[in-house]
Amino acid sequence: MMLSIPGVLNAEQLRQCRAALEGGNWQDGRFTAGHQAVNVKANQQLAQDDPLTQQLGDFILACLAQHPRFMAAALPLKVVPPRFNRYAEGGTYGDHIDNAVFSVPGTPHRIRADLSATLFFSEPDEYDGGELVVHDHFGSHRAKLPAGHLLLYPSGSLHRVEPVTRGARLAAFFWVQSLVREEPQRSVLLELDDSIQALREQVPDSPELVRLTGIYHNLLRQWTQT
């Protein structure tokens, strides 16, 4: 499942993040690539130990924790601190699959990657190319979202970033270990949660809300892995 989550950052938050990123100390992204990915990766990244990476990463994590749609879709248990990349002048990242496990810099902690996320800072009309292409059992899906929107997709998916031929594409990216490891189960829970929220808007006094909410939590209790 590939899911677009709008409004993770508002206009003022985007302005502040963009201003900071445009003055960032960008480095060759191949330094962080594995043996396979280094052959297909051509972008720029902020170093993981750059103070700006820490500052903006903490800010994004705080925003995500307050975003109901992200919390409902990802059901996050752990999140790899966000990293930041820039694609320009033909920058691209060929077909690859993300690592299964990531270490958290400066800690002994390791996080299983169930979900990958890209948070867009550049508007689609600011650059040509740069689409994120995700392959799954149903074919290929292309995404180029407005600034402040986040794309969430399974980390085991083959995916790529198309070459950017004009302008620059700025984004944050990170990985989530979900409370619910299996994607079909997360999809069921999200659909059930959406139905509960819609019912609460339409008939807030319905006794069925209590029953459906109980079903949701009992399924979550059954499928949660910690």
From first to last of its 226 residues, the chain has per-residue pLDDT tens of 899 999 999 999 999 999 999 999 999 988 776 666 678 999 999 999 999 999 999 999 999 999 999 999 999 999 999 999 999 999 999 999 999 999 988 889 999 999 999 999 999 999 999 999 999 888 899 999 999 999 999 999 999 999 999 999 999 999 999 999 999 999 999 999 999 999 999 999 999 999 999 999 999 999 999 8
117: nearest Cα among 148, 150, 77, 142: 150
pLDDT in the model for residue 37: 67
CATH 4.10.860 placement within the chain: 183-223
Tell me the fold of 183-223: DNA Excision Repair, Uvrb; Chain A (4.10.860)
Global pTM?
Answer: 0.94
Interatomic CA distance for residues 92 and 204, integer angstroms: 48
Output the CA angle 209-212-213, nearest 5 degrees. 80
Residue 148, CA distances (Å) to 2, 19, 45, 212 in order:
17, 14, 19, 32
CATH 2.60.120.620 placement within the chain: 3-178
User: Can you spell out the DSSP letters for the chain?
Assistant: --EEE--SS-HHHHHHHHHHHHTS-EEEGGGG--TTGGGTEE-EEE-TT-HHHHHHHHHHHHHHHT-HHHHHHH-EEEEPPPEEEEEETT-EEEEE---SEEEPTTSS-EEE-SEEEEEE-S-GGGSEE--EEEEETTEEEEE-PPTT-EEEEETTSEEEE--EEESEEEEEEEEEEESS--HHHHHHHHHHHHHHHHHHHH-TT-THHHHHHHHHHHHHHHH---
CATH class of the domain defined by 3-178: mainly beta
pLDDT in the model for residue 35: 63
Interatomic CA distance for residues 63 and 89, integer angstroms: 31
